[in-house]
A and B are shown apart, each in its own frame.
Chain A
């Protein structure tokens, strides 16, 4: 009975994840029923991940901004465009070494973030204003650099960095022997990930028991392991039947895990939640709140640069319209993923779920062949419905 209750609570706590699974199942059924194909095919899953990678990267940075008190960064789309333009100029037009160019671009992103963070944190200009201005002039800077034109194509060594797969490279035709090879390597990597996860769980239990802390019941731990590694293996299996693991997924994995660790387990990460929860109380606890704000926006600049590089690689071009409305995708992913508009609550994992939710919705509807205008309407309404569902199910757990 208690176990049953734990499951119900866990489901309510992860209402948005449930909604994501629900949407996946819904489209799967709809697509099969209308005979228009299948959502969960190897190629399509790979596509959804690659298509939405920039949202996940930006949403992770946006989450930190939102945590500080519901502050957003409107300039990220424009910054993505600037970084693409600079990367294109350096690599394509000037032939600079790609690694040097990437380093320069990342550094430029940090500098842009620090510039905006300075005005926000140390001069006290509202983030909305500073980044709205950035939204305008960074786009202008990008247009100036590009002179209104598109730069392409990028050299193949650059594209390989962002668009190839482990272990296959992109453009090679896959023979049956290679397919077996890809499958073996991919599944092995998946198995290693699951084993690492298992090792972590065991180690955690051992240290907890040793230090005399409370542990979850064995059943809960085991079912958690089964569910999560089951999910991981399913995605891996799909990818294995395609071309393997997209490099972008590795980049995403590093960013998501790294920032999850930062927000969950590190002192500066805790400061973000505290600042959003109660700024005055945080200051009165001896925490430098300005530094946190500065870091949030500097970091946003860095991640916008990462996204800019990924996007340039994916489209194989630096074009003046790149990044348009990306800020709204990122902000949307965070709020759909359960971040509070007042700050202080929200998780990196939630934002990933939020981003994927939007991604699956877009993907499923285009597969169904819905009219583009109808798609927008449905998308808006479904987003509203999903968040309402999440908020209501959380409210029920609270009143208990």
Chain B
């Protein structure tokens, strides 16, 4: 019989005006991987914040029992003291410090005020080995990939003698192979007695790794699933999460594909810093009116770089090649020109490159095309609010009003504001870079519906995505990129998970 490590009893947490958690109970056994799933805003992160002491014990109602003892945490430090470590979605590493320094930040090795650097780096190296990361602990964090940084976070947790590891969306920004590596590491740690709580939107991962699943919806536990006794398929989980059966995760659409809209010929792009490094190598692609074309590939294949270099040369140097828009050869030397030619690029990084988080929705909506709401450079504020409201309704953005700051919206709604912004710019060609990253199943469906509306209006969509089901479910045609080159093209009928992966793998071998 497994031992109970953690019991959270009847946790209720309210924010002014809203109940975030309503009488939630959670039980975790020693040595299991316990997944918590739910839509964005369901209360998963709040629950974990209660557990890890982000909220002190007098800010919520309920009781936490950990290793058989009642716990009252005031700060994160208290919970770390007993071996509970949380790794947030946004990594908390200092880029300009080395891996070793980061790993023992706030937990420095040495005596009194002196830091023993030899011990620090030696220990750090041993933990890095444990998580299978082949880097020196003296490497600066900014010089390693996001996937590796995630492993550093886990090594950091291990350095704190973790017993219960909480991971909030650990694979959100990782590609498939890095994600797999991370999940296997968690399985490995389970063997070593580390219990994990995993919050994830990626249900295939949950299905792969979890021993138990708790489904949360609207601040309450809807369902507890156990791998031993219950059926554990993605569909079951989704049904519990959204409270309805999603018969189809991708909305249907009647395709009516027209003539060629955008043609990219012999497109070459070099890295902005290393001028000998080719990032896009002789890329050719076509995009037709009313068509959704996907670009699949591993992270670092050059997909984002391709889209950005087309979008007014906003990435790279020594760009050569031809762009043909509606049969006319065009030159796009700046983003302004690209917007004028009705091309839009919706970034994968909405927080850093897409939105003004501390500004209201209406300012974000009109930002890329302010001539539409101004005369002689004078803005019509009322008109701005009006059009923003129209997009709010069209995209079903959930907010109190368009004066609300974008930063206070959930990820899915932020993505909708970002889409509004670029739809407002009236593009004929939309390049969507990871349009559903980090948002929940329901919002994803809505974004897909919007994409379908756009192509139904005769626009063209070029979608970059790392999520295979999305590529297969939404695209009329798929290009596969590897190392800056397009290595394969599939029609909807030809495209399968296997065919795409084998295209990538065979080109990987060819190098």
Contact = CB atoms under 8 A, between A and B. Distances in A.
Interface of A: 207-208, 211, 213-214, 264-268, 270, 273-274, 277-278, 280-288, 340, 344-345, 399-400
A288 B314 CA distance: 12
Interface string B302-319: 000000000010100000
A278 B339 contact: no
Interface of B: 15-17, 312, 314, 334-336, 338-339, 345, 347, 352-359, 363, 367-368, 370-371, 374, 377-379, 381-383, 385-386, 421
Given A284-B345, A286-B338, A213 B382 contact: yes
Contacts of A280: 352-353
Given A211-B386, A277-B358, 19 more contacts: A211-B382, A265-B379, A267-B374, A267-B377, A270-B367, A273-B356, A273-B359, A274-B359, A277-B359, A278-B352, A278-B353, A278-B357, A281-B354, A284-B335, A284-B353, A288-B336, A340-B358, A345-B358, A400-B16
A270 B336 contact: no
A286 B368 contact: yes
Nearest to A399: B16
A270 B335 CA distance: 18
A285 B382 contact: no
A399 B353 CA distance: 26
A364 B198 CA distance: 61
B335 A268 contact: no
A110 B320 CA distance: 40
B363 A270 contact: yes
Contacts of B355: 278, 281
A286 B334 contact: yes
A164 B354 CA distance: 51
Contacts of A211: 382-383, 386
Contact of A281 (B15, B353, B383): B353
B382 A208 contact: yes
> 10 shortest A-B CB distances, which residue pairs?
A277-B356, A286-B335, A286-B336, A213-B382, A285-B368, A280-B353, A267-B377, A286-B339, A267-B370, A278-B356
B356 A266 contact: no
16 contacts: A211-B382, A264-B381, A265-B381, A266-B379, A273-B363, A277-B357, A277-B359, A280-B353, A281-B355, A281-B356, A282-B356, A284-B335, A285-B335, A286-B368, A345-B358, A400-B16
Contacts of A340: 358
Given A282-B367, A285-B368, A344 B377 contact: no
Contacts of A287: 336, 367
A213 B421 CA distance: 21
Contacts of B368: 285-286
Contacts of A278: 352-353, 355-357
A118 B334 CA distance: 21
Given A265-B378, A267-B379, A274 B356 contact: yes
A284 B421 CA distance: 12
B314 A270 contact: no
B433 to A, nearest CB: 11
A349 to B, nearest CB: 16
A38 B345 CA distance: 62
Contacts of B381: 264-265
Contacts of A265: 378-379, 381
Contacts of B335: 283-286
A279 B370 CA distance: 17
B326 to A, nearest CB: 20
Max chain B C-beta neighbours (<10 A), residue from A207, A277, A284: A284
Nearest to B346: A284
B84 to A, nearest CB: 27
Nearest to B17: A400
A288 B337 CA distance: 12
Max chain A C-beta neighbours (<10 A), residue from B312, B379, B381: B379
A213 B353 contact: no
A284 B354 CA distance: 7
Contacts of A285: 335, 339, 367-368, 421
A269 to B, nearest CB: 8
A331 B353 CA distance: 29
Contacts of B357: 277-278
A284 B314 contact: yes
Contact of A266 (B16, B347, B377, B421): B377
B470 to A, nearest CB: 23
Contacts of B367: 270, 274, 281-282, 285, 287
Max chain B C-beta neighbours (<10 A), residue from A214, A265, A270: A270
B379 A270 contact: yes
A375 B345 CA distance: 56
A344 B367 CA distance: 14
Contacts of B371: 267
Contact of B378 (A266, A283, A399): A266
Max chain B C-beta neighbours (<10 A), residue from A265, A283, A288, A400: A265
A322 B359 CA distance: 39
A344 B359 contact: yes
A399 B370 CA distance: 31
Max chain B C-beta neighbours (<10 A), residue from A207, A278, A340: A278
Contacts of A284: 314, 335, 345, 347, 353-354
Nearest to B421: A285
A280 B315 CA distance: 12
Nearest to B408: A398
A229 B300 CA distance: 61
Contacts of B383: 211, 213
B185 to A, nearest CB: 32
Contacts of B338: 286
A254 B314 CA distance: 40
Contacts of B312: 286
Nearest to A269: B379
A348 to B, nearest CB: 16
